[in-house]
Structure 1
Amino acid sequence: MVQEANKNLTLVQRFFECYGSGDLDTMKREILDENVTWIIPGHHPLAGVKNGADEIINYFATIAKANFKAEVISLSASENHVVDVHRGWGEYGEHKVDMNWVLVYQIENGRIKQAQNFAADQHIADQFFWNVWGDQLKPVPDRLQSV
């Protein structure tokens, strides 16, 4: 059990290394399960459940626009889960966000199978994401026509 927990910690540490260096290819090939689920909370344009490694890689490529960075504060692991507390910050023009985030990772077969993200202040996170990505939404009539 301790050995599995240590492997899971190493996996999430590798995730952060890939994230920090922008190595999304390695993240996709070696860290994320092909059918991974990533839950992004909130009421903003990027919120929702991301399904599959490709969708998650696209999400990380998108938030790179806001120069998002992460610094691990604490990691703890068990046989099937890792909990990470990290400082996450980003900046796009005059819009900034800087807060602590908690992620709960479910690990299966040496890969991240699911991650659920929690923001220290969801209202501030929502506002930041709206400020950066809200103008990229189609106007309401166009969105309604595509439903």
Structure 2
Amino acid sequence: MAEEVNVNLKLIQRFFECYGSGDLETMKKEILAEDVTWIIPGHHPLAGIKKGADEIIKYFATIAEANFKAELISISTSEHHVVDVHRGWGSHGDHKVDMNWVLVYTIEDGRIKSAQNFAADQHVADQFFWNVWGDRLKPVPQRLQDC
């Protein structure tokens, strides 16, 4: 079990390295499970469950537009899970966000199988995401038409 914990720790550290350098291709090929799920909390345009490595990579590419950065504060590992606490911040025009976030990862076969985000202040996160991405939504009548 100690070996699995160490491998899981290295996997998440590598995830942060890829995230920090924008190496989404390595993240997709070597870190994320093909059928990974990623839960983004909140009531904003980017919230929801992302399914599959392609969708998650697109999500990370989208938030990169707001110059999102992450700095690992603490990490805890077990046989099948990793929990990280990190400072996450970004800005887009006059809009800024800077807070602590917690992610809970499930690890299977040496890959991230699932992750769930928790924001220190979800209301602040929601407002930031609405400010930056809310104008990209189609008007309500068009969105209802697409259903």
Q: Same fold (TM over 0.5)?
A: yes
1-structure distance, mates of 2:4, 2:146: 46
**Correspondence for 1:28:** 28
Ranges in structure 1 where 5+ consecutive residues have no aligned partner: none
Q: Secondary structure of the residue that 2:116 maps to in structure 1?
A: strand
**Correspondence for 2:53:** 53
CA deviations on 1:103-122 (whole Å, 9 max, x unpaired) are 00000000000000000000
2-structure distance, mates of 1:74, 1:96: 23
- Percent of aligned positions that are identical: 80
Q: Secondary structure of the residue that 1:43 maps to in structure 2?
A: coil
CA deviations on 1:45-104 (whole Å, 9 max, x unpaired) are 000000000000000000000000000000110000000000000000000000000000
1-structure distance, mates of 2:29, 2:84: 22
Question: Structure 1 counterpart of 2:10, which letter?
Answer: T
1:119-138 to structure 2, matched below 5 A, reads 119-138=119-138
Shift of 1:3: 0.8
Shift of 1:130: 0.1
Q: TM-score, normalised by structure 1?
A: 1.00
**Correspondence for 2:7:** 7
Ranges in structure 2 where 5+ consecutive residues have no aligned partner: none
Shift of 1:128: 0.1
2-structure distance, mates of 1:87, 1:111: 23
**Count of residues in correspondence between the two structures:** 147
**Correspondence for 2:64:** 64
**Correspondence for 1:146:** 146
**Correspondence for 2:107:** 107
**Correspondence for 1:91:** 91
**Correspondence for 2:116:** 116
1-structure distance, mates of 2:56, 2:145: 27
Q: Secondary structure of the residue that 2:12 maps to in structure 1?
A: helix
Q: TM-score, normalised by structure 2?
A: 1.00
Moved >2 Å (runs of 4+): none
